[in-house]
Structure 1
Amino acid sequence: MQKLCAPLSITHVIIDLDIGGAELMLKRLVLNSDPKRYTHRVLVLGVEGVVGKELEHAGIEVCYLGLRGMWDLPMVFIRLVRKIRAHRPSIVQSWMYHSDLLAGLAAKVGTSAKVIWGVRTTDPAVGNAPFTLAIARHCARLSAVLPDRIICAADVSRRSHIKLGYSASRMHVVPNGFDIDRYRLSSNARTQLRNDWGLSETATVVGAVGRLNDAKDFKNLISALLELMPHFPSLHAVFVGRDLEIENDRVRAWFPTPEFLNRFRFMGERNDMPECLSTLDIFCLSSRSEGFPNVLGEAMASGLPCVTTDVGDAALLVADTGLVVPPENAKALAEAIEVLVNRTPAERAEIGRRARTRIEEHFSLASTVREYERHYNSLTNEI
């Protein structure tokens, strides 16, 4: 008889489970790996979030350790050690710097688990607080000791972290994968949300997605759009993401005058991203720093024509299916957006179809999950 093996036990550690690139990739990985071969649990250093609730609803065990501030760190670390010991996982997989450091240390206290760190940013010095940069530097010093493997979302991330001092021999690249079935344009969602948001069907809508963070450089995108709007009366813009609300003083400061403010919609954080993307005609990534940008891949998978700054692996992702411009250059961004605004809806749809095909052929979720599973197997010698 063929010997039946118990599923490989993997405990994930992440600082929070609100909506974000790492959080969504963790969710996709956990929900799409083979349940007969892998059992996943998630330890959240912080408190409840949207993605965490979605995982729990899907039957995944999620435990929150209660980190709310620096003063909680000692107790949270003790809880983390106890939980990992109780789980007795074969692998502890952490996501982003704070989790990498704490999980790497906790896994070494009384367990034999293999440790996988997750690097998600291009350059830790861009868009991160000084404390986060300090954590990244500590991780670099310990990277030859604590983790057995370090998985980066982009090759540019791998290279920049090696420069920071990370162990080159332990670093591997697994690009994000995208669910083609989930991300597709919906005419019903387009009509419904445009009605809800006060946008006409004839408006040409440029959209951006992401949390309010300097690295996303939404200010630069707004400058580009304000340059175009006097010449294109039907041009409107939608911004979706945490803290992207017109009541936010940081957002209002991006507008030198209120002249075109009524053509912008700031919708804050939402959990219906496929529907939100369906309202757009053009997607724009304006970041000054990225690793492997999830939102760009999701827009491409949805079938949207895209403009992106040349950051991280964005140019690799879009290849010849989108327009790539230098970061922090509002004029170049405006010119690229204008190219797509001047195209007919049919021409934009054809560009979007090519973008979707590229995701389907080169960046599918299934291939990304298989690559993570290959790392699990090679670390535990279970093939």
Structure 2
Amino acid sequence: MPKPYPDRVLYLIDSLGMGGAERMLFNYLRHLDRNRWEPRVCVFRVRDGNPIASEIEGLGIPVDLIPVSRIRDFVKLIPLVRYLRRHRFDLVHTQLEAVTVHGGIAAKLAGLPAVHTLHTFAYPDATAREVRRSEITWFALRSFHDKVIAVSEAVGDYAVAKGRVLRKRISVLYNGIDTNAFRRGNEIERAAVRKAFGIPASAALVVTVAVLRREKGIQYLIEAWPEILKSVPNAYYLIVGGGPYESQLKSLAATYKLTDRVLFAGARSDIPELLGSSDLFVLPTLDDVLPTVLAEAMASSLPIVASRVGGVPEMVEPGRNGLLVPPTDQARLAEACIRLLRMPDEAQRLAQGGRALAESRFNVRSQVRKLENLYQELIGRTDNSC
């Protein structure tokens, strides 16, 4: 028989700053069936004031702090295990690698099933210390977690190859978005956004939304822009986001005398409006696990040009919703952009395919239902009343 009360799930995460995993956690909690689940969140540290904590608390979900600063700080297992037992949790879900070791061990000591969401690959330029830390993390995943959720097939393959995690213990669950929050803007909305940036209403508008780091590859599209302008003279490029590489990108645009065509919007909260007012989304990234912004662009009915790296091919299917190009290849990047800007019928077909794909593969509601089924499977193994 089903329980007469919700199962209690602890979400354990390093901090609640403005990162992608943190925002995804909030998004999932917002759509969790509260008749079936009683969620609670615990963090190990405060980063930038933990702004997402207040958003989660706004959902009526408590957020607690148990300070853990080092991976070898095993004395902190004592208060963590006591915390798990005091709140009578049924399952522990760890997020981000910093909590993998303590979260997994504490769950096992408390007799609870544990699941971990694996968001990233290891960095190729990792230091020796970071490599050792990674090995400890992989050991914790193999030894103390019942399931590993990979956010893409590519991440799952990486966990098997590098982390020696058994394939049968991996479930792939794509990051979901609220597809209802994104749509193509009407003519009035599109004109208003363009006017705000000094872009002609009739211009061809290409957009990238990203944290401005070298690894996002935006520099290659800026370098390709003069070639694009030869074929599409009314093309404008809007770069949305801030980051450590912003000044270099602005200098590059100035070097190519593109300051009137390559525009920097900075960090913005009106991403749906900006996407809905554009004509083409481009992500020339050098490596990416599963860029959620691609799903947002699809839901906004935008055709996509992106690099064939990481988990991107799981999101962009050539001929269905966009075009893929080799990373760092400026010529192929320019060619793909020109093609979709000059062929509106093909661009429209890909845009429609992207919207359909966003609904079928990246809708947060369906992804949360899959997550809940996984929880029930794990709790059912250890709870004879279910």
User: How far apart are the structure 2 equivalents of 1:201 and 1:74?
Assistant: 60
* Aligned match of 1:300: 298
* Aligned match of 2:60: 59
Aligned residues: 376
- SS of the equivalent of 1:117 reads strand
Pair 1:177–1:259, CA change in 2 (3 A): same
* Aligned match of 2:326: 326
Contact kept, 8 Å, 2:223 with 2:256, in 1: the verdict is no
Alignment partner of 1:263 is 2:261: yes
User: How far apart are the structure 1 equivalents of 2:28 and 2:311?
Assistant: 20
User: How far apart are the structure 2 equivalents of 1:361 and 1:291?
Assistant: 20
* Aligned match of 1:135: 133
User: How far apart are the structure 1 equivalents of 2:79 and 2:192?
Assistant: 45
Contact kept, 8 Å, 2:71 with 2:98, in 1: the verdict is no
| Structure 1 unmatched ranges of 5 or more | none
* Aligned match of 2:229: 229
Output aligned runs, 1:1-383, within 5 Å: 4-44=3-43, 45-47=45-47, 48-64=49-65, 83-108=83-108, 110-121=109-120, 123-126=121-124, 133-168=131-166, 169-187=168-186, 189-243=189-243, 248-255=246-253, 257=255, 259-319=257-317, 320-344=320-344, 348-381=347-380
Contact kept, 8 Å, 1:244 with 1:267, in 2: the verdict is no
1:207-266 CA-partner distances (Å, limit 9, x unpaired) = 112223343222223223344235433211122234278xx4343354470500232222
User: How far apart are the structure 2 equivalents of 1:103 and 1:189?
Assistant: 47
Aligned-residue identity in percent: 27
- SS of the equivalent of 1:297 reads helix
- SS of the equivalent of 1:118 reads strand
Deviates more, 1:32-41 or 1:80-89: 80-89
User: How far apart are the structure 2 equivalents of 1:126 and 1:236?
Assistant: 34
Amino acid at match of 1:115: A
User: How far apart are the structure 1 equivalents of 2:365 and 2:79?
Assistant: 34
Contact kept, 8 Å, 1:88 with 1:113, in 2: the verdict is no
Deviates more, 1:258-267 or 1:278-287: 258-267
Contact kept, 8 Å, 1:140 with 1:165, in 2: the verdict is yes
- SS of the equivalent of 2:9 reads strand
Contact kept, 8 Å, 2:174 with 2:361, in 1: the verdict is no
Q: Which 4+ residue blocks in structure 1 deviate beyond 6 angstroms?
A: 69-79, 127-130
Amino acid at match of 1:252: K
Contact kept, 8 Å, 2:116 with 2:147, in 1: the verdict is yes
Task: State the shift of 1:71 in Å.
Answer: 11
Task: State the shift of 1:104 in Å.
Answer: 2.2
- SS of the equivalent of 1:181 reads helix
- SS of the equivalent of 1:145 reads helix
Pair 1:268–1:46, CA change in 2 (3 A): farther
Task: State the shift of 1:98 in Å.
Answer: 1.4
- SS of the equivalent of 2:27 reads helix
Pair 1:367–1:138, CA change in 2 (3 A): same
Contact kept, 8 Å, 1:27 with 1:51, in 2: the verdict is yes
1:289-324 CA-partner distances (Å, limit 9, x unpaired) = 222221111110111111111123322323222111
Deviates more, 1:308-317 or 1:149-158: 308-317
Contact kept, 8 Å, 1:244 with 1:251, in 2: the verdict is no
Amino acid at match of 1:25: M
Contact kept, 8 Å, 1:98 with 1:135, in 2: the verdict is no
Pair 1:172–1:324, CA change in 2 (3 A): same
1:54-85 CA-partner distances (Å, limit 9, x unpaired) = 32333332335578x76997898777556545
Task: State the shift of 1:339 in Å.
Answer: 0.8
TM-score, structure 1 length as denominator? 0.86
User: How far apart are the structure 2 equivalents of 1:270 and 1:86?
Assistant: 41
User: How far apart are the structure 2 equivalents of 1:264 and 1:133?
Assistant: 39
Amino acid at match of 1:356: R
User: How far apart are the structure 1 equivalents of 2:82 and 2:178?
Assistant: 35
Structure whose alpha-carbon radius of gyration is higher: 2
Pair 1:16–1:210, CA change in 2 (3 A): farther
Contact kept, 8 Å, 1:42 with 1:61, in 2: the verdict is yes
Contact kept, 8 Å, 1:193 with 1:276, in 2: the verdict is yes
User: How far apart are the structure 2 equivalents of 1:236 and 1:201?
Assistant: 11
Backbone CA RMSD of aligned residues: 3.0
Amino acid at match of 2:144: L
Contact kept, 8 Å, 1:127 with 1:213, in 2: the verdict is no
User: How far apart are the structure 1 equivalents of 2:50 and 2:193?
Assistant: 24
Contact kept, 8 Å, 1:125 with 1:133, in 2: the verdict is no
1:106-133 CA-partner distances (Å, limit 9, x unpaired) = 434x522221111112x31348777655
TM-score, structure 2 length as denominator? 0.85
User: How far apart are the structure 1 equivalents of 2:125 and 2:340?
Assistant: 29
User: How far apart are the structure 2 equivalents of 1:333 and 1:180?
Assistant: 27
- SS of the equivalent of 1:299 reads helix
